[in-house]
Structure 1
Amino acid sequence: MGSSLAEATELKNKGNDAFKKQDWPEAVEWYTRAIEAYGKEPSFYTNRAQDANKAIELDPSNVKAYYRRASANTAILHHREALEDWKLVVKKAPGDATAKIRKTECEKIVKRDAFLKAIEVEDAPSAAEGLDVEHMAVDPSYDGAKLGKEMTLEFIEDMIERFKNGKKLARKYVFQIILAVMDIVKKEPTMVEVDIDGGQEITVCGDTHGQYFDLMEIFRLAGKPTEEHMFLFNGDFVDRGSWSTEIALLLYAYKWLYPTRFFLNRGNHETDDMNRMYGFEGECRAKYTERVFKLFSESFSALPLATLIGKKYFVLHGGLFSDDKVTLDDVRKLDRFKQRQPGQSGLMMEMLWTDPQTQPGRGPSKRGVGLQFGPDVTKRFCETNNLEAIIRSHEVRMEGYEVEHDGKCITVFSAPHYCDSTGNKGAFIKIDPEYKLKFTQFDAVPHPNIKPMAYASNGLQGLI
């Protein structure tokens, strides 16, 4: 703690260098060390958006700190808090055109959210009500494979090629796929339990975030799903990347074809508020219809929250809990249908939002939602539930995956060069009948010239 300002500034500069190389985790590490070395300099805190409060406490006139806090609150959908800060930024820096745009967008979102809340109905009818898919016509100009009452491998192979070529599915088939999968996942438990028999394997993938062409690379390297080759996609299929409908429909088609061999966990981006901000709702509207989004939304809220593989690996999108007393039995008993959206507290929110930390115990989330859990928390959870490890996703890892907490916490992230800006590798994990893990890293592949967040709310275009 006795370090000088000069030494701490040198640490901060190393963070800036890492930031320029788009190595975000290393940048945060250097910024954290700078703060630990000299905690009285406000500018150090503005480099980590979650520390903007401290920067403002040290220097209430620090415009950059208000800007960072507004950006952070916008990103985690705390729009009312963000709007107050955007107003302050515009007042203190009236020449900042970007801040004015963000303020205007934030005002629109606050009004929209208020309107949606006002018209919200607790027991709203399903978007499927009155939808006569059976008698819906397919346009005669549609040049793809036909879909009958059951999914076929031929149809999936055709849709893979259609999506590669920028083509869409007939709307009737989109409705059929979503409705069929919604019916399947509603019957699954909150925690699906699967064993790997001889001759089988399971491939576990993390976030894909609408990066369809990188999903194709996963299937090229890992092999496509079959009865013997199971898959688990661990949430965040959609948002940010601009081929989210393609990924969601393809994963759903495989789920329909292999209902007991292909598994989908819900992520924090399979939720309405995130989909409205980060592109999936806009993409559904642009490529199909508002009703398609509403059906996807219903199906997302029915997805399982976790998968237990061989009673050894607990796989969920975010991470562990605020209470050590929570066990796998509590997850089994969790009624995920009581609330469609995760809210700001409770087991569902924690399963979708929490992150690991290096220090023991629990700490506040750097996201502003959920919490962070240390290696001791993971160790106790694994010992209590006789687990080898937890497998989670939810965070970019520069190498595509990371094994931490003494091997008990494994993060896998499957969207390489995330948002066309991060430079990270992607990864997936194969688990064999002996329950051994094999990690495969891969690089991003070229894709058509459509930028990430193409369908997102305008206020988030610069907050990737």
Structure 2
Amino acid sequence: MSDLDRQIEQLKRCEPLKESEVKALCLKAMEILVEESNVQRVDAPVTICGDIHGQFYDMKELFKVGGDCPKTNYLFLGDFVDRGFYSVETFLLLLALKIRSIDRKQEVPHDGAMCDLLWSDPEEAVDGWGMSPRGAGYLFGGSVVTTFNHDNNIDYICRAHQLVMEGYKWMFNHQIVTVWSAPNYCYRCGNVAAILELDENLKREFRVFQAAPQEARGTPAKKPAPDYFL
């Protein structure tokens, strides 16, 4: 068994790695990320995942539903490690599994296109653009999505970053879909989670799953996130 395979199995048992191993994984991840562009090509078949928020055992449930790496080609849309009981372990396992993400050569700025891309949200009650309660980005309505998809020859937008109780949610006549992959978010919201599978012909299937059973979770590593994160 290689060192990487051993580390993956160790992390799956929620056992911490040595400090030297963590540094080596982070350095390897940096090598991969600096070689990638800001816009990364993703080929189908692919399984798209929304936020997992450091909910380590729920991420293991996700892999049970979607399949193990590298047999399944995953695209994680973000929010890997904040808030969950096992956020560090989740981050390290994603590194060890060599899941690639958006290029991180700089921090997200406080304004501008990258900031708006991260923080903007669709809203049924908005016509055009509106102010966002997040304090960054904007709210946008159906007319904005229709124009963007038409101008860019896009069938629909798949995004994450917002809790939806059913695991996924279509808006604006199936022009945009939110995928959420953290079941029972913050361990008290009661929602289910979902992943979106696209086959080689881009035929889509949503796979909905529940949170990992309590008896499989072990002892929490820290307190739940404060209510304002909900």
Whether TM exceeds 0.5 here: the answer is yes
Contact 2:51 2:161 in 1 (8 A): yes
Cα separation, 1, equivalents of 2:110 and 2:18? 37
Which residue identity lines up with residue 136 of structure 2 in the other structure?
A: V
Is 1:263 the counterpart of 2:100 in the alignment? yes
Structure 2 residue matching 1:236: 3-state secondary structure: coil
Paired position in structure 1 for 2:23:
175
Structure 2 residue matching 1:395: 3-state secondary structure: coil
Where do 1:321-360 residues align within 5 Å? 337=105, 340-358=106-124, 359-360=126-127
Contact 1:239 1:453 in 2 (8 A): no
Is 1:401 the counterpart of 2:168 in the alignment? yes
Structure 1 residue matching 2:115: 3-state secondary structure: helix
Paired position in structure 2 for 1:213:
57
Contact 1:342 1:348 in 2 (8 A): yes
Contact 2:117 2:137 in 1 (8 A): no
Deviations 1:327-356 (A, max 9, x none): xxxxxxxxxx4xx32232101101111100
Which residue identity lines up with residue 435 of structure 1 in the other structure?
A: L
After superposition, the Cα gap between the structure-2 partners of 1:183 and 1:451, relative to the gap in structure 1 and judged at 3 Å, is closer
Which residue identity lines up with residue 118 of structure 2 in the other structure?
A: L
| Post-superposition offset of 1:449 | 4.0
Higher RCO structure, 1 or 2 (CA under 8 Å, sep 6+):
2
Cα separation, 2, equivalents of 1:187 and 1:451? 34
Between Structure 1 and Structure 2, whose CA radius of gyration is higher?
1
1:185 alignment partner, one of 5, 8, 33: 33
Deviations 1:45-82 (A, max 9, x none): xxxxxxxxxxxxxxxxxxxxxxxxxxxxxxxxxxxxxx
| Post-superposition offset of 1:377 | 0.8
Q: Give TM-score scaled by structure 1 length.
A: 0.46
What is the number of equivalent residue pairs in this alignment? 225
Paired position in structure 2 for 1:62:
none
Contact 2:86 2:221 in 1 (8 A): no
Cα separation, 2, equivalents of 1:178 and 1:341? 17
After superposition, the Cα gap between the structure-2 partners of 1:451 and 1:245, relative to the gap in structure 1 and judged at 3 Å, is closer
Cα separation, 2, equivalents of 1:249 and 1:206? 18
Is 1:463 the counterpart of 2:228 in the alignment? yes
| Post-superposition offset of 1:224 | 0.6
Cα separation, 2, equivalents of 1:365 and 1:451? 33
2:206 alignment partner, one of 439, 442, 449: 439
Structure 1 residue matching 2:62: 3-state secondary structure: helix
Contact 1:205 1:232 in 2 (8 A): yes
Aligned-residue identity in percent: 35
Where do 1:294-309 residues align within 5 Å? 302-303=103-104
Paired position in structure 1 for 2:78:
235
Structure 1 residue matching 2:52: 3-state secondary structure: coil
Cα separation, 2, equivalents of 1:452 and 1:389? 38
Cα separation, 1, equivalents of 2:59 and 2:191? 15
| Post-superposition offset of 1:366 | 2.3
After superposition, the Cα gap between the structure-2 partners of 1:462 and 1:422, relative to the gap in structure 1 and judged at 3 Å, is closer
1:417 alignment partner, one of 172, 178, 184: 184
Taking only aligned residues, the RMSD between alpha carbons, in angstroms, comes to 1.9
| Post-superposition offset of 1:154 | 4.5
Q: Give TM-score scaled by structure 2 length.
A: 0.91
Structure 1 residue matching 2:158: 3-state secondary structure: strand
1:195 alignment partner, one of 38, 43, 46: 43
Structure 2 residue matching 1:427: 3-state secondary structure: strand
| Post-superposition offset of 1:425 | 0.6
Deviations 1:8-51 (A, max 9, x none): xxxxxxxxxxxxxxxxxxxxxxxxxxxxxxxxxxxxxxxxxxxx
Structure 2 residue matching 1:156: 3-state secondary structure: helix
